[in-house]
Amino acid sequence: MKPTMALKPLAFALAALMAVAAQAGETYHHPQPAPTTLAVTANDGQSNHGNVVLNDKTKNNASVNDSLNNYSGVVGNNTLSGDNNQGKNDVAIGSGDADFVFATVNSAQSNSGNLVINGGTKNNASVNDSGNYGSGIIQSTVASGTSNQGSNSTAIASGNGNAGGATVNAVQDVSGNLSVNLSSGHGWSTKPVTNNASVNSSFNHASGIVGSNTLSGSNNQAQNNVAVTRF
């Protein structure tokens, strides 16, 4: 056999190996990017327990007047009057170009083992001419009294990726509380316990999401939770 004829199969084999190596090298230098993730979390908790409150001819007033108008974006408000009240505003916003975007708010409240004695007490909570002509998300908690709790939570996930999630996990517990409401005085001078809660001319012409809690009294709990996902 001539030498040239013997080399032809070897040349074909070398050419095939070079082609495979070139293809493998091209794949190696252009790997697929790993999925990206953006996660935003707000964790918060409240505990209100073991308190003793004695109110005698006490006046507690909580009010929001001509406020929070023409707002834009996210607004959280707590207006509290009295004893042992708690209020909180949690906001978690995740926005980006990640493949997966998550926003989470974890909130817990516990109100237990409290003793409240009211004698001739007045509790007033009101919202007047507030929260009008706004755009976005507004949450308001107005409380007057004793051992009230308020929570405003917002979770927003927005992105250009494949998927995402907005989650609000909220827990409330009210147990083992004792409230005694007594009038004071005698005859015509008797002063009873009065609890008033009102919302007047408020949250008008608003655009978006509105959450409002107006509380008056003892051991109240309130939550406004919002979860928004946009992709």
pLDDT digits (tens, 9 = 90+) for 2-28: 544 544 565 555 555 555 555 555 555
Question: Mean pLDDT throughout 40-53?
Answer: 90
pTM over 0.85: no
Cα(178)–Cα(167) distance, integer angstroms? 34
Q: What is the pLDDT of residue 3?
A: 47
Average pLDDT, the chain: 87
Asked whether the predicted pLDDT for residue 29 surpasses 80, the reply is: no
Contact 125, 165 (CB under 8 A): no
Q: 122: closest CA among 181, 165, 73, 40?
A: 181
How much is the average pLDDT of 115-131?
95
Structural contact between residues 155 and 82, judged by C-beta atoms closer than 8 angstroms = no
Q: Where are the domains of the chain?
A: 37-230
Name the more confident of 17 and 122.
122
Q: How far apart are the first and last CA of the chain?
A: 71
Residue 29 DSSP one-character state? T
- Convert 67-93 to b/e letters by CB count within 10 Å (16 or more is b): bbeebeebbbbbbbbbbbbbbbbbbbb
What are 185-220's pLDDT values in tens digits?
888 788 899 999 999 999 999 999 999 999 999 999
**Number of Cα atoms under 13 Å in the Cβ half of residue 48:** 28
Do the beta carbons of residue 71 and residue 138 sit within 8 Å?
Answer: yes
